[in-house]
């Protein structure tokens, strides 16, 4: 048992971080686990696991309505988590709605736009590198309302064609919904410029920050973004929890997503008035334990420092790209100037799933397939990619094992 | 060889391998050796779509026996397909429809494959049995 014990050449202290992740201390298929599927989900530090265990063992109770001690403790912890996430993204706490995750947050906004904003002939702008969760909700509402979905093309390097983006902006566009970081290619989009250009024409912007949150400092007020969605499980927190940030004025304007308990001011059979934001969007018993876990995850990231994480991952990504370039026949999908987190590639004629299976045999976890970005794969004319996605606990030894594992897989498949 | 004998032969073949890497080497070789499907049958109608890779499966009746040809865009999948084709191709539709398929479990494939991949394999087996039932029904009508 046990993972790399040698100090990492880029950041010796990273070994201390690795020690906080029990799951990394195991073997898979007889080899020490090399976990490089962080774009799908990140592993959890003991502080997150412990916070969730404490909730269930010490103060499991429902929130907001109970007068008893446990309920008050649960409510305090739940709301403290909201404050923690708000501070993490530079928002006011009442601008943070707990959701099931990024997908749920995007659907919340889509549903609100369907009900309150969108009319026939309107347009929504997305990009060619979106995850399906930032495509399908907009397709659904556009079909229903007779609106049009406009797609910003992606260049051969895997960057957004910003000239095309500018040309798509017009008075009919009601929302721009774009990913901050591509989950497939790791491209970091110029979100400040996107927001600024859209705002010049009075168009609001939603950022899918699912792949950004664990890698890049987020300051929503500085960005002046209108909506931002992220998932807890991609930020060292639990699954089933995420947030939607919305400017207060927008959250006020959008109708409730779902009806139920805890989202109302008053209910009569004639009329219901709704609670203030954000509770207006949190019908029913929320994912209390998961929210608390997310609060702990944010605290853990703060302890390391997101700027430090960003700087280290930048070095690690450069190391990984340089190391993978040594593999004969490798072809990168996405070579953006600004990138973070994910590296996608193909080697020769090998199918990504074959490479993935053989890497798994060597204890190396990567993602293969279309990564829920089928239109992007179609754009490059490929069935999918092998994707290595990094997190702060990855080390250069992981990359070395990946390169060695890919070489072995390709030899076997050749 | 009967379907049962074919399965027993495969189980025996897999017993010689020391670890799963060797088993995969063998599966890859099977994939490379699998005769390709006639391109005219590589159509959407014959496509079994999985999350990771594609499989094309064509069935035709020759002298009362159901013959399968197949292909995949991924070579490991193709090797797995090859095993299934070896076991079930060239038998009477009735025998295929009624066959008890146990070799996948016996060689440890079910527990070793990811759920996605093993679901794909099960989808293919299901499709083969459906063909067998359909051809059986057709021959009874005739």
User: What pLDDT is recorded for position A238?
Assistant: 98
Q: How many CB pairs under 8 A join A and B?
A: 46
Average pLDDT of A91-101?
98
CATH architecture label of A49-303? 3-Layer(aba) Sandwich (3.40)
Q: What tens digit of pLDDT does each residue of A50-95 get?
A: 999 999 999 999 999 889 999 999 999 999 999 999 999 999 999 9
Percent of chain A with pLDDT over 70: 98
Q: How far apart are CA A294 and CA A237, in angstroms?
A: 5
Q: What tens digit of pLDDT does each residue of A305-357 get?
A: 999 999 999 999 999 999 999 999 999 999 999 999 899 999 999 999 999 99
- Angle B79-B84-B89 from CA coordinates, rounded to 5°: 120
User: Worst-scoring range by mean pLDDT, A178-192, A232-246, A347-361, B50-64?
Assistant: B50-64
Smallest Cα distance from B74 to chain A, Å? 5
Contact assignment for A384 to B25 by CB distance below 8 Å: no
Three state DSSP letters for chain A: CCCCCCCCCCCCCHHHHHCCCHHHHCEECCEECEECECCCCCCCCHHHHHHHHHHHHHHCCCCCCCCCHHHHHHHHHHHHHHHHHHHHHCCCHHHEEEECCHHHHHHHHHHHHHHHCCCCCCEEEEECCCCHHHCHHHHHHHHHHCCEEEEECECCCCCECHHHHHHHCCCCEEEEEEECECCCCCEECCHHHHHHHHHHCCCCEEEECCCCCCCCCCCHHHHCCCEEEEEHHHHCCCCCCEEEEECHHHHHHCCCCCCCCCCEEEECCCCEEECCCCHHHCCCCCCHHHHHHHHHHHHHHHHHCHHHHHHHHHHHHHHHHHHHHCCCCEEECCCCCCECCEEEEEECCCCHHHHHHHHHHCCEECEEECCCCHHHHHHHCCCCEEEEECCCCCCHHHHHHHHHHHHHHHHHHC
- The DSSP element (H or E) to which B55 belongs, if any, is strand B54-62
User: What pLDDT is recorded for position B139?
Assistant: 74
User: What pLDDT is recorded for position A406?
Assistant: 98
Residue B26: list chain A partners with CB under 8 A.
Answer: none
Contact assignment for B74 to A369 by CB distance below 8 Å: no
A232 touches chain B (CB under 8 A): no
Per-residue pLDDT of chain B (142 residues; tens, 9 = 90+): 999 999 999 999 999 998 888 999 999 999 999 887 888 988 988 888 665 788 899 999 999 999 999 999 999 989 988 999 999 999 999 999 999 999 988 988 766 666 566 667 778 888 888 889 988 887 777 6
User: What pLDDT is recorded for position A3?
Assistant: 46
Contact assignment for B28 to A383 by CB distance below 8 Å: no
Contact assignment for B75 to A413 by CB distance below 8 Å: yes
Q: Which residue has the higher pLDDT, A300 or A13?
A: A300
The complex scores an ipTM of 0.85
Interface of B with A in 63-102 (CB under 8 A): 73-77
Average pLDDT of A372-387?
95
Which of A40, A132, A347, A351 has the highest number of chain B CBs within 10 A, making it the mutation to test binding with B? A351
What ranges do the domains of chain A cover?
6-38+306-413, 49-303
Average pLDDT of A181-186?
97
In the numeric block, the tokens 């197949």 are attached to B70
Contact assignment for B52 to A361 by CB distance below 8 Å: no
Contact assignment for B75 to A384 by CB distance below 8 Å: no
Q: What is the DSSP letter of B91?
A: B
CATH number of A6-38+306-413: 3.90.1150.10
Which of B74, B78, B111, B121 has the highest number of chain A CBs within 10 A, making it the mutation to test binding with A? B74
What chain A residue is nearest to B80 in terms of C-alpha separation? A354
A120 burial (CB, 10 Å; 0-12 / 13-18 / 19+) is exposed
pTM of the shown model: 0.93
Per-chain mean pLDDT for chain A? 96
């Amino acid at each position: 048992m046990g993972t790399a014990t040698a100090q990492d050449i880029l950041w010796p202290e990273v070994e201390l971080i690795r020690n906080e992740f029990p799951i990394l201390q195991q073997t898979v298929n007889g080899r020490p686990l090399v976990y490089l599927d962080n774009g799908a989900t990140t592993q959890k530090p003991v502080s997150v696991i412990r916070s969730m265990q404490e909730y269930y063992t010490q103060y499991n109770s429902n929130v907001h309505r109970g007068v008893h001690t446990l309920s008050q403790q649960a409510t305090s912890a739940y709301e403290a988590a909201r404050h923690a996430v708000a501070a993490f993204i530079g928002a006011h706490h009442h601008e943070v709605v707990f959701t099931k995750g990024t997908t749920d947050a995007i659907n919340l906004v889509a549903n609100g736009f369907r009900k309150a904003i969108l009319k026939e002939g309107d347009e929504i702008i997305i990009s060619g590198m979106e995850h399906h969760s930032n495509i399908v909700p907009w397709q659904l509402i556009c079909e229903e309302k007779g609106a049009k979905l406009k797609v910003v093309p992606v260049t051969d390097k895997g960057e957004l064609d910003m000239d095309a983006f500018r040309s798509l902006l017009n008075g009919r566009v009601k929302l721009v919904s774009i990913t901050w970081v591509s989950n497939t290619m790791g491209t970091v989009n110029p979100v400040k410029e996107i927001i600024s250009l859209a705002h010049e024409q009075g168009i609001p912007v939603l950022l899918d920050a699912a792949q950004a949150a664990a890698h890049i400092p987020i300051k929503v007020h500085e960005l002046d973004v209108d909506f931002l969605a992220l998932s807890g499980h991609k930020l060292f927190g639990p699954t089933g929890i995420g947030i939607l940030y919305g400017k207060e004025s927008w959250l006020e304007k959008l109708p409730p997503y779902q009806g139920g308990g805890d989202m109302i001011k008053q209910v009569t059979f004639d009329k219901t008035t709704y609670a203030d934001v954000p509770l207006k969007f949190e019908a029913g018993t929320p994912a209390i334990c998961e929210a608390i876990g997310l609060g702990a995850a944010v605290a853990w990231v703060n302890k390391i420092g997101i700027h430090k994480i960003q700087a280290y991952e930048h070095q690690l990504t450069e190391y990984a790209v340089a190391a993978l370039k040594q593999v004969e026949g490798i072809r990168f999908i996405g070579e953006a100037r600004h990138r973070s987190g994910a590296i996608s590639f193909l080697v020769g004629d090998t199918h990504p799933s074959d490479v993935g299976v053989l890497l798994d045999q060597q204890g190396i976890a990567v993602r293969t397939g279309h990564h829920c970005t089928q239109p992007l794969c179609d754009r490059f004319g490929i069935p999918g990619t092998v994707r290595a996605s990094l997190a702060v606990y990855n080390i250069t030894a992981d990359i070395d094992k990946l390169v060695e594992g890919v070489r072995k897989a390709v030899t076997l498949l050749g | 060889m009967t379907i049962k004998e074919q399965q027993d032969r495969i189980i025996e073949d897999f017993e010689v391998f020391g670890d799963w890497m060797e088993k995969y080497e063998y599966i890859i070789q099977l994939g490379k050796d699998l005769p390709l499907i006639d391109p005219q049958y590589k159509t959407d109608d014959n496509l079994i779509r999985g999350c990771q890779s594609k499989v094309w499966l064509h069935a035709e009746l020759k002298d009362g026996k159901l013959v399968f040809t197949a292909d995949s865009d991924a070579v490991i999948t193709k090797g797995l397909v090859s095993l299934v084709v070896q076991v079930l191709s060239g038998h009477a539709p009735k025998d295929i429809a009624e066959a008890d398929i146990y070799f996948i479990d016996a060689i440890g494939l079910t527990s070793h494959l990811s759920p996605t991949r093993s679901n794909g394999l099960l989808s293919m087996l299901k499709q083969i049995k459906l063909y067998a039932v359909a051809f059986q029904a057709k021959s009874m009508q005739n």
